[in-house]
């Protein structure tokens, strides 16, 4: 068995692990990276990248069949589902060199393509390698959670991992789970020509502001998506091409294919964490504010750390622990400035506190500013007026922003910057946005905050009157 000593051992070659490995090795640390499966992890191979590529195909098909409002005849798109999957594969192939073993070895990282397991607090075995490290980073990500629904073990189903192998378009796709993955793939398949039914035990898009989520859900229903909310799946039965999902109220939903998208579970199996003194929780590995585990020489980042499960969070975590591991500086992770987006159309995005959370935390000091897309000239020009931006403000500073509408995922970036840097609404109001852009919505929301103070204030009117009387 080969014995290796290194400064940093990274377990997992997804977005978080790769960010740590690249950053650390380029700053002078010796780094070993373990990845037994695909470089790039879930995001590149099964999640963010392929899903957005398929959404792009679906968006194109929808535009073709809804062109009449722009003075162009509607046409029925001829969808080739297998070719759309080829498009997905091509997108992945264009991005994967950045995450490849060859690139990281070129940077100086020792890449070992095998599973790792702890044999002591500072030693991990991977195949024929025994690696001792000064610091270890667990970045093993998460996998689709498969719920214990009666009959599911005997019925063919797909997850976000196996969906990309499917070449024959589903005639009627049943989706168990109304979260971001379920709703994105539901709308994509609907626009590509499948019938789609979503079965959700609680509220669809339940982690987002209910008012904003409803804007999106209304649009999805208008497109023909069947959404059964408050419907817990009780039993699944049938065979390939003829599947039934029965809910607790006795309703039976019939379809040809079944996508299970009810959440994700942290990948901790096989790591032998107990041998390293590392504790876990129901959601993942237990970490403190600095992302250290109960073994202070070991960090956990990204999905496996049990918090927000987004690629950009894993990248953020990487930056937090590099500061600590390489420079010995105190560094803590926060979620207050972390945005997220759901890439349905319209999109749904959030950063900071929702309205309900902000009311609970700030009480009477809170002001909620609202601005509708229907007042944005670019949105009107592009027939994308279905949407709302809502900003939660306390003591003149935004503490949260919720957006539902065209390019919400792009618009939320500004508010993430504002909240991260504790900026004031006056600084947003002073920004000049090019006209006409969807981005003007952010400035107009800030303007809506100041409008009552300027245009409805008797004091302001008296001051203006006095100045006008004496101004030469």
User: Which residues line the annotated binding site for FAD?
Assistant: 52, 116, 140-142, 303
Q: Checking DSSP bridges between strand 31-34 and strand 2-11, what pairing results, if any?
A: parallel
Three-state secondary-structure class, residue 5 = strand
Residue 64: Cβ within 10 Å count: 17
Q: What whole-number distance in Å separates Cα of residue 80 and Cα of residue 105?
A: 39
Q: Which residues contact 92 (CB under 8 A, 6 or more apart)?
A: 44, 45, 49, 50, 53
For 30, 133, 161, 319, the CA distances from 325, given in Å and listed in that order, are: 12, 12, 33, 10
Cross-strand bridge partners of residue 132: 5, 123
Q: What whole-number distance in Å separates Cα of residue 373 and Cα of residue 39?
A: 40
Three-state secondary-structure class, residue 128 = coil
Which residues does the annotation place in the binding site for NAD(+)?
177-184, 200, 263
Which residues does the annotation place in the binding site?
52, 116, 140-142, 177-184, 200, 263, 303
DSSP 381-431: HTT----EEEEEEETTEEEEEEEEETTHHHHHHHHHHHHHTT--HHHHHT-
Peptide bond into 346 cis (omega under 30): yes
Three-state secondary-structure class, residue 59 = helix
Cross-strand bridge partners of residue 386: none
Q: What whole-number distance in Å separates Cα of residue 306 and Cα of residue 266?
A: 7
């Amino acid at each position: 068995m080969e014995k290796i000593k290194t400064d940093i051992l990274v377990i997992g070659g997804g977005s978080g692990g790769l960010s740590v490995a690249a950053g650390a090795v380029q700053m002078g640390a010796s780094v070993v990276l373990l990845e037994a499966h695909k470089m790039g992890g879930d995001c590149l191979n099964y999640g963010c990248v392929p899903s957005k590529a398929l959404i792009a195909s679906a968006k194109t098909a929808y535009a073709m069949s809804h062109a009449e409002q722009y003075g162009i005849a509607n046409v029925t798109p001829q969808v080739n589902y297998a070719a759309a999957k080829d498009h997905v594969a091509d997108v992945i192939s264009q991005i994967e060199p950045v995450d490849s073993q060859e690139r990281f070895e070129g940077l100086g990282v020792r890449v070992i393509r095998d599973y790792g397991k702890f044999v002591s607090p500072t030693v991990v075995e991977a195949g024929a390698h025994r690696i001792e490290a000064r610091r270890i980073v667990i970045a093993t990500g998460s996998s689709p959670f498969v719920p214990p629904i009666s009959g599911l073990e005997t019925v063919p189903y797909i997850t976000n991992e196996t969906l990309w192998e499917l070449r024959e378009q589903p005639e009627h796709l049943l989706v168990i789970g109304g979260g971001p993955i379920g709703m994105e793939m539901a709308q994509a398949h609907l626009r590509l020509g499948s019938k789609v039914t979503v079965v959700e035990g609680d509220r669809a898009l339940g982690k987002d502001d209910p008012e904003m989520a409803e804007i999106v859900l209304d649009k999805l229903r208008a497109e023909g998506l069947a959404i059964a909310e408050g419907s817990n799946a009780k039993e699944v039965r049938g065979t390939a091409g003829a599947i039934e999902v029965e809910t607790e109220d006795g309703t039976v939903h019939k379809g040809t294919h079944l996508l299970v998208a009810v959440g994700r579970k942290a990948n901790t199996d096989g790591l032998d964490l107990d041998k390293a003194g590392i504790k876990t929780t129901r959601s993942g590995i237990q970490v403190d504010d600095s992302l250290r585990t109960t073994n202070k020489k070991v960090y956990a980042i990204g999905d496996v750390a049990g918090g927000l499960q987004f690629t950009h969070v894993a990248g953020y975590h990487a930056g937090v622990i590099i500061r600590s591991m390489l420079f010995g500086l105190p560094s803590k992770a926060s979620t207050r400035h972390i945005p997220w987006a759901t890439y349905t159309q319209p999109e749904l995005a959030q950063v900071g506190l929702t309205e309900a959370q902000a009311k609970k935390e700030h009480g009477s000091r809170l002001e909620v500013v609202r601005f509708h897309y229907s007042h944005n000239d670019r949105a009107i020009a592009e027939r994308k007026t279905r949407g709302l931006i809502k900003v939660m403000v306390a003591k003149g500073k935004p503490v949260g922003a919720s957006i539902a509408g065209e390019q919400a995922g792009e618009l939320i970036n500004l508010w993430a910057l504002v909240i991260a840097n504790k900026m004031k609404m006056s600084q947003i109001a002073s920004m000049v946005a090019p006209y006409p852009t969807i981005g003007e919505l952010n400035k107009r929301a800030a303007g809506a905050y100041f409008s009552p103070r300027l245009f409805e204030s008797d004091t302001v009117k008296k001051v203006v009157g006095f100045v006008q009387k004496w101004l030469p």
